[in-house]
Structure formats: C-alpha cells, structure tokens
Amino acid sequence: LAVKDPTAVERANLLNMAKLSIKGLIESALSFGRTLDSDYPPLQQFFVVMEHCLKHGLKVRKSFLSYNKTIWGPLELVEKLYPEAEEIAASVRDLPGLKTPLGRARAWLRLALMQKKMADYLRCLIIQRDLLSEFYEYHALMMEEEGAVIVGLLVGLNVIDANLCVKGEDLDSQVGVIDFSVYLKSDDDIGGKERDVQIAAILDQKNYVEELNRQLNSTVSSLHARVDSLEKSNTKLIEELAIAKNNIIKLQEENHQLRSENTLILMKTQHHLEATKVDVEAELQTYKHSRQGLDEMYSEARRQLREESQLRQDMENELVVQVSMKHEIELAMKLLEKDIHEKQDTLIGLRQQLDEVKAINVEMYQKLQVSEDAMKEKSEIISRLEDKTNQINATMKQLEQRLQQAEKAQMEAEAEDEKLKQEYVNKSESLQKEFSQKEKQLLQLETDLKIEKEWRQTLEDDLQKEKETVSQLRIETQEIINLKKEFLKLQEKNKQLKRICEDQEAALQELASKLSESKLKIEDIKEANKALQGQVWLKDKEATHCKLCEKEFSLSKRKHHCRNCGEIFCNACSDNELPLPSSPRPVRVCDSCHAILIQRCSSNVP
C-alpha cells in the first residue's frame, strides 16, 4: 500500500470537522431560535475548529525569549486588503482585557461572525497567496483547496444572528479542545433530528406568515393615507379653478383696453417718423456741404504733417548714427589700452609656454602610441556593429512600408469627414452673413450721424496737436546741430589717439625684434665658449698662412683665431662683423662657424 502524506490527512480531517461544526451550528441555531449567545456550546466548538484550521501549517517566528506561532499575523493583513475590516482591527486593539495576540485573534473571529462577513474577509486572504506565504508553509490548509472549501461553507453562517459580549471574556487563557462527543450519532439522535427538522420547517412557515401580515398592514395604512391626501388635493384644485376663471375674465378685459391703446400709439409714431425723415434729409444736405470744406482742410494738414514727420525721422536717424559712432570710438580706445597691456603679458607668458610645450610633446607621444592600439580594437568592434545596423535597417524599412499603408487609409477617412464638415459649416455661415447684413443696414443710418459729429471735433483736435508737434521738432533740430559739433570734436581726438597708438605699436615691434636677435646671438656665444673649454691654442710659429686666402701673415695681415673651430684667419678674410650691446665696437665673426674671432699678439698669448 502507498503511504499517504500526513499533511494531506490533516487537511482532510480538519475540513471534515469544519463541515460537521458548521452544519451542527446551523441546525441547532434553527431549532434554538437563530440568535445565539457566547455560552452556546456548538458556537464555542465552531470557534475552536476555526482556530485549528487557521493554525495548520503556520510558520514559527523567533522572538527574544521563545518561538511564536499565532494566527493574529495573517488576520491583521485583512485590514490592508479589505478596507471595511479596519473597524474590527481598531476595536480589537482598543479592548483593555486582551494581552496576547491569540486573544486578539479570537476576538476578531467573534466580531467578524457578528458582522456576517467572516467568509468575505477570509476569501481576501486566500486570493493573496503570495502574502500568506510569509506566515504559512506551502502545505498549509489555507494555501490549498481545502481553505477555499471552508470559506464557501462559512457563507451559510450569514443566516445566524449572534450577540456576543467580547469585552468581559477572558479570551487569552481559553483552552481550544475539540469535543468529538457532540458529533457522534445514535438512534435517539436520529429520531430527534427528524423532529427538529419538522419543527424548524413549521417555525419557518410561521415566521413567513407573520412577515406577510406585517407587510400587508403597512401597505393598507399607506393606501389610506394616500386616499386622504388625494381628497384634500381635489378640494384645493376645485377652489383654484374657480379663481383661475375669474382671473381669465379680468385679463380679457385688460387685453381689449391694451389693443385700443396700441392702435393710438401706432398712429402717433407714424406721424412722428414722417416728421423725423424730413429733418434728417435737411441735415444730410447741410452736412455734405460742410464736409467738402473740412476734407480740403484735412488734406492740407495731413500733407504738412507727413513732410514734418519725414524731417523728424531723418534727424533721428542721423542722431542714432552719431551716437553709435561715439560708442564705437570709446570702445576702440578701451580695446587699444587692453592690447598694449596684453602684449606686455604675452612676452612673459611665451617664455613659460616653451618649457611647458616640451613636456607636453613627450606626454602626447606616449598617449599617441596607446591610442593607436585602442583604435585598432575599436575598428574591429565598429565593423561588427555595422553588420548589425544593416540588418536592423532592413527590418525598419519593412515596418515603415506597413505604416505608410495604414496612414493612407486613415487620411482617406479623415478627408471624407472634413468634406462633410465643410458643407455644414458653409451653409451655416451663409445664413449668418445674410442675417448680419440686414442688421448692419439698419444700424448704418444711425451711426453715420454720430460719426459725422465726431469727425468735426477730431479734426480740430488734430490741428492743435500738429501745431504742438511742429514746435517740438524745431527744438529737437537745434539739439541735433549741437550734437553734431560735439561729434566732430570727438572724431579729431580719436584720430590723434590712433596715431599715438600706432607709433607705440611700431616702437614695441622694433624693440621686440632687436631683443630677439640679440638673445639668439648671446646664446650662440655662450655655446661657443662652452665648446672651447679644454682646447689648446696653436703656436704662432706653426700658423704661418691664412686658411682662406693661403697668404703669409704680416703686419698688415694680422692673425685672428676662432674659439669654436680653432682655425686662424687674416684680418682681410674675416670681414664679418656683429654689433653687441655690451661692447662699443663690433666683433669679428668666423666665416665657417660664425663664432667670435680673437686677435693674437706676437708672443702667442690669447
């Protein structure tokens, strides 16, 4: 025989016990009267069975002193998953007599049963199995199908009404032991159960009939009240009808009077309109004559205003140009001063940069070798990436073709919708234009008279303003003439400063060129002196002829010795001279190595 899994056997036993306890509780409640107290034995057994079901497969949690294994942890999760359970959790935490988490869990189960929502709360827990895995093992009853079956059985407990006093009970120290003697069957129990079933059926019928009588009584009373209210409203409506008839007769008489008055008013308005038309025609003729004279005055004033405005614009443009020239001159002066200071600083900075450039060249050569090796590796990677990009481009082209087809279909549908919309809009606009034209024709006659009166006032105001502008323009022209004179003076000063600056720059360039030449020659002399250290002079007897012209030395042809190459020349061959800042006379230079020549005396001493 195959060995059964002990955890599966435990789950099956607990499920059977839950079925028996729930069934026995419902049957006994129906026979007892459906409202139960906390001392009712089947109800106490039901809570004990539920504790065992919730404890099955619980993970042991370590604490400071011992190991904890309580069902309060998973029941606390219901508060987060089901918002209506917040009231139960808050009331359980506020109970003064509870000290242990097991006591809080027992109080929570009792309150959930009284609310008739125990099945809903536990169903939320079973759905969230990833959260339950923190508290239960994988083989626990709440993690398997048996838990869902128990939740379905708990729905039947909504028939029972429970009135439980949780505040005074000692729920922390209760011992949860299942009493199996309640569920054992006998012959007497079978007969008694059949009687109980019959009694329960009779009680149900009695309760049903009582509820029907109550409902019928309530409907009869409501109907009587409606009849009374309808009778009262009927009497009120009859009275209101009589009053309304009297009001209608009075209104008809008033209507006849108003019609007669209306005819009289129409006759008067017609006579008044005829009189006003004659007046309007006379005013129009007078207005036309006066308007011709005003138009001529306005055209002349307008022509003068244009001429003066053009003059003013020309003067303003000249002023702007002169001001910009003044600013440019000031900026040029500042830039010239900065250039002089910068050139002095660059001479000092160039010396420091020469030393830095030498060190940088060495570092750059080393970095160049490293970068060449890296470039070879990167070129190989780039070739691989190009192959991949070609593949991706091919797939992108296929997707773009599909997109274009979809966009064409969408554009055709949108074009049809726009055509229909334009037709409706054109019709509505044509109707609105006709209506607006008719309204404008009515308003034109009234507005023309007002506009003509306003024109007279505006023309007079414009003439006064133009006179004021002419006087202001004359004042501004005098100011511009004064500014021109000042501008000419500034131009002369600028030219003088430019000349001075150019002279200074030329002097600086000459000094810089001379300094650079003299420094190079001094360095050459220093190198030549270093090279001559340790060399031996030729004897005067041995040097008899010049090496260039190969003629004998004499009093007219004196000997000159080169420190660098050691050769001896005559004064006729060594004509190259170099001016030195340290010596008053120029120095003779060697033709081959350009080093300084030294004249030798007859005693062969340098």
Write the DSSP assignment of 329-382 as a string of letters. Answer: HHHHHHHHHHHHHHHHHHHHHHHHHHHHHHHHHHHHHHHHHHHHHHHHHHHHHH
In sequence order, what DSSP letters do the residues of 189-208 get, joined into one string? HHHHHHHHHHHHHHHHHHHH
Give pLDDT, residue 2.
45
**Angle formed by the axes of helices 101-115 and 118-127, nearest 10°:** 120
Whether 157 shows a pLDDT value over 80: the answer reads yes
Cβ contact 135:97 at 8 Å: no
Segment 212-242, tens digit of pLDDT:
887 888 888 889 888 988 988 888 899 888 9
**What are the residues whose beta carbons fall under 8 Å from the beta carbon of 203, sequence distance 6 or more?**
30
pLDDT of 149: 92
Say if CB 144 and CB 11 are below 8 A apart.
yes
Looking at per-residue confidence, does 208 or 583 come out higher? 208
Residue among 120, 159, 125 at smallest CA distance from 30: 159
The torsion region of residue 594 among left (phi > 0), alpha (psi -120 to 50) and beta comes to left
Assess contact for 28 and 162: CB atoms under 8 A. no
Residues of the chain with CATH 1.20.58.900: 6-183
pLDDT at res. 603: 38
Phi, psi of 88, deg, nearest 5: -65, -50
d(CA 150, CA 575): 128
Which residues 6+ apart lie within 8 Å of 230 measured at CB? none
3 state DSSP class of 35: strand
Beta strands 161-162 and 35-36: pairing type?
parallel
569 phi/psi in degrees, rounded to 5: -125, 165
pLDDT average, residue stretch 97-109: 88
Q: What is the mean pLDDT of residues 355-365?
A: 80
Inter-axis angle of helices 101-115 and 41-55, to 10 degrees?
A: 120
Q: Is the pLDDT of residue 190 over 70?
A: no
**Average per-residue pLDDT for the chain:** 80
Kindly report, residue by residue over 278-289, the tens digit of the pLDDT.
888 887 888 788
Q: How many Cβ atoms from other residues are within 10 Å of residue 183's Cβ?
A: 14
Q: CB neighbours (10 Å) of residue 111?
A: 21
Question: 6-183 adopts what CATH topology?
Answer: Methane Monooxygenase Hydroxylase; Chain G, domain 1 (1.20.58)
C-alpha dihedral sign at 528, 534, 539, 543: negative
Residues 383-404 pLDDT 10s: 788 787 888 878 788 877 888 8
| CATH 3.30.40.10 placement within the chain | 545-605
Please enumerate in sequence order all residues whose Cβ is within 8 A of that of 146, keeping only pairs 6 or more positions apart, or say none: 11, 12, 14, 15
Pair of tokens at residue 403: 């997109």
DSSP output for 520-543: HHHHHHHHHHHHHTT--PPPTTT-
Q: Which residues of 551-587 are buried (b: 16+ CB within 10 A; e: fewer)?
A: eebeeebbbbbbbbeebbbbbebbeeeeeeeeeeeeb
pLDDT over 80 (residue 65): no
Q: Select the highest-mean-pLDDT range: 83-92, 387-396, 523-532, 589-598.
A: 83-92
The CATH label, of 3.30.40.10, 3.30.110.40, 3.40.50.2000, 3.65.10.10, for the domain at 545-605 is 3.30.40.10
Per-residue pLDDT tens digits for 426-436: 877 777 787 77
Report d(CA 504, CA 510) in Å as an integer. Answer: 10
How confident is the model at residue 535, as a pLDDT?
55
pLDDT digits over 454-486, tens only?
887 888 888 888 888 888 888 888 888 888 888
Helix axes 6-32, 41-55, angle to 10 degrees: 160
Q: Calculate what percentage of the chain has a pLDDT beyond 90.
A: 2
**Distances in whole angstroms, Cα of residue 421 to Cα of each of 258, 269, 413, 417, 435:** 49, 47, 13, 6, 22
Beta-carbon contacts of 449 under 8 Å, excluding residues fewer than 6 positions away, are 280, 283
Q: Are 110 and 172 in contact (CB under 8 A)?
A: no
Residues paired with 589 in a beta bridge: 596
428 sits in the region (left: phi over 0; alpha: psi -120 to 50; else beta) called: alpha
Round to whole Å and give the CA distance between 276 and 477. 55
CA angle 542, 547, 548 (to 5 degrees): 160
Q: Is the pTM of this model over 0.85?
A: no
Quote the percentage of the chain above a pLDDT of 70: 84
Which two three-digit tokens encode residue 50? Answer: 């539920």
Nearest to 87 by CA among 60, 114, 69: 114
The answer to whether 522 and 553 are in contact (CB under 8 A) is: no
DSSP state of 578: E
Helix (H) or strand (E) holding 187: helix 187-532
